[in-house]
Chains A and B, each alone.
Chain A
Amino acid sequence: MSSSNYSQADRFAFRTTPVPESFPARPNRSAETTAQPPLLQVEGLRKVYGGLEAVAGVDLSLPFGRITGLIGPNGAGKTTLLNVISNVERPTAGRVLLQGEDISALPQYRLAERGMVRTFQISRELGQLTVLENLLLARPRQTGEKLIGVFGRAGRVRREEEAGIEAARAVLLKVNLWRLADAPAAALSGGQKKLLELSRALMLSPRLVLLDEPAAGVAPAMEQVLIDTIRGLATEGVDFLIVEHDLDVVASLCSHVFVMAGGRILTQGTFAQISGDSRVVEAYLGLKA
């Protein structure tokens, strides 16, 4: 199977579980100007650790239908921002709205059912579970995760598992991990773990995926698979917010880029706009020159 050339059937394979009804359909481009709330809105978000203000008042808004980049020098607060948005950490102040709903006070596990899922900068695979089990775990609303389902609805649990294995297989084949389906996730290479994390997130049929440095440690050949996978998913209505240091990846994927420095949003725009901005060059790109 060619990795960079998706057929319609291949693309569909990522969506073997139906999108829950609570997720609104992807709006048309022309409808984006209507009153519908943005997919994700962050208002006045602050996160203080002791005396350090890691996120110092961030406002940002992600409209539907975008792959958004979040870049900035080390220590700019990108990962902290992602942690607060995904409720891994509580904000000191401010709030996060997902499709207009304030999610800052929700328990972390409730975010997945609202269509938001994240990956981690340093891969957090579930090491003693197999690659396949990592993916099966992520399926939402499993009958077999309730004890009453395990004993009372065994047939239904079995059918769900079979459907889950088929869905997981389609995803794993695409990132070339199916041959390792029965291996414990701990045995994967760093790049493979990154792909596993993305694949696992996809099993939730998410609306918005937060990726923390998805390309870090991924081999160049696999990086292209990763980019193609993300792009393919975007055309199916999955939006991404990507923290990434590899600016080639950002340039090729992201239609809109936020630049963070010192816990604040420095500027935003298309990659061409921000890469020509002298402040960005000074704060970030300048470090490389």
Chain B
Amino acid sequence: MTGYFVAILTFVSLAVLLGFALNIQWGQAGMINFGLAGFYGVGAYTAAILSKQGVDGVSATVAAIVTTAAISALVSLATIKLREDYLAITTLAFSESVRLVLMNETWLTGGTNGIRDIPRPFVDLVGGERYELFFLAACIVLVAAVYFLLDSVIRSPFGRALRAVREDDVVAATLGKDVLALRVKAFAIGGAVIGLAGALHAFYFTYIDPGEFAGFVTVYAFMSVIVGGKGSNRGLVMGACTVMILLEGTRFLKDFVPFFTAQQAASLRLIMIGTGLILVLIFRPSGLSSEYRLSSPKTADTTS
């Protein structure tokens, strides 16, 4: 059971990272990324392919981060001439293209067979049964580091400018903000975090195939952000946990309601996930936590 807990917490860490990324892209900058799974795949495959070539784990992870960030910046640039809603369609198309490339470029990606036996970083140092625990600890440290980095970004004037672009890009431009540069940067920052999550995914499972980078990854990330509160990273950690508890907890459904067939239980599970999400939205429509807002230093003479 401990092993199961460690696994769940590792999944939650990855979900939290994806949520963080979506929170800066969508929550802060208002850029819908329906292709998150595709970027996740880019990160995972970059790390996996390089590791298989003998590159050490840390370098492969850095490469995954840089590659995913660069591709994210390119994809966001492709929408310069398009209205912002089209970013949703562009990213969705990107995600599908990634999946098709992963399935068909067999020489590079192994096609539908995927890549197996991806070497795990530091496995010589922390071998054996304690590796899973070590990996979880590494994930939690990385989640914390990303949290603090993104938190400084969100609280900074840069984050404020992103939210301004989200609220009204024309106004942001009339106030002297370079809207395009801000959008590209926000998308690239999110991409970097997705790349990190992808690399961790590859190292954790040691096997990846194109099917793992399908739409459901994107949907879970959106669920985490919606439940946690769009724009709030603290809420997002709670949101990702809630979504994972719903996803994993409902797996045990068939143990408690034996009169259902496996198929019925599986369907019931999806119904329960949906109901849970709706209940959260009814009782906490803006999510579990709200967005960062600057509070002014109030002094005694300001009551006039």
Contacts and interface: CB of A to CB of B under 8 A. Distances in A.
Interface in A118-173: 118, 120, 124, 126-130, 132-133, 136-138, 140, 142-147, 149-151, 157, 160-161, 165, 169, 173
A179 B294 contact: no
Contacts of A157: 156-157
A117 B297 contact: no
Contacts of B294: 130, 132-133, 136, 182
Contacts of B173: 107-109
A169 B299 CA distance: 11
A181 interface: yes
B104 interface: no
A147 B158 contact: yes
B163 to A, nearest CB: 6
B89 interface: no
A129 B157 contact: no
Contact of B160 (A113, A136, A147, A179): A136
Contacts of B59: none
Interface residues of B, number: 33
B70 to A, nearest CB: 15
B291 interface: yes
B168 interface: yes
A173 to B, nearest CB: 7
Given A157-B156, A179-B303, A204-B175, A165 B296 contact: yes
A86 B176 CA distance: 12
Contacts of A52: none
B295 interface: yes
Given A137-B161, A157-B157, A184 B293 contact: yes
Contact of B174 (A1, A118, A146, A149): A118
B261 interface: no
A142 B297 CA distance: 20
Given A111-B174, A130-B293, A136-B294, A144 B168 contact: no
Nearest to A117: B174
A145 B160 CA distance: 8
A78 to B, nearest CB: 17
A161 B156 CA distance: 9
Contacts of B153: 147, 150
Interface stretch (B32-40, B119-127, B177-185): B177-185
User: Which bracket fits the contact residues of A?
Assistant: 35 or more
B152 interface: yes
Contacts of B22: none
A179 B302 contact: yes
B164 interface: yes
Contacts of B160: 129, 133, 136-137
Given A137-B161, A144-B157, A178 B302 contact: yes
A169 B304 CA distance: 12
B156 A150 contact: yes
Given A113-B176, A133-B294, A128 B167 contact: yes
A113 B177 CA distance: 10
A178 to B, nearest CB: 6
A88 interface: yes
Given A118-B174, A124-B170, A137-B175, A145 B296 contact: no
A146 B178 CA distance: 11
Contact of B293 (A111, A133, A147): A133
Interface in B140-161: 152-153, 156-158, 160-161
A250 B302 CA distance: 33
Contacts of B291: 128
B171 interface: yes
A151 B152 contact: yes
A108 B174 contact: yes
The 5 A-B pairs at the shortest CB distance, nearest first, are namely A112-B176, A144-B157, A126-B167, A108-B173, A150-B156
Interface of B: 152-153, 156-158, 160-161, 163-164, 166-168, 170-179, 185, 189, 291, 293-297, 302-304
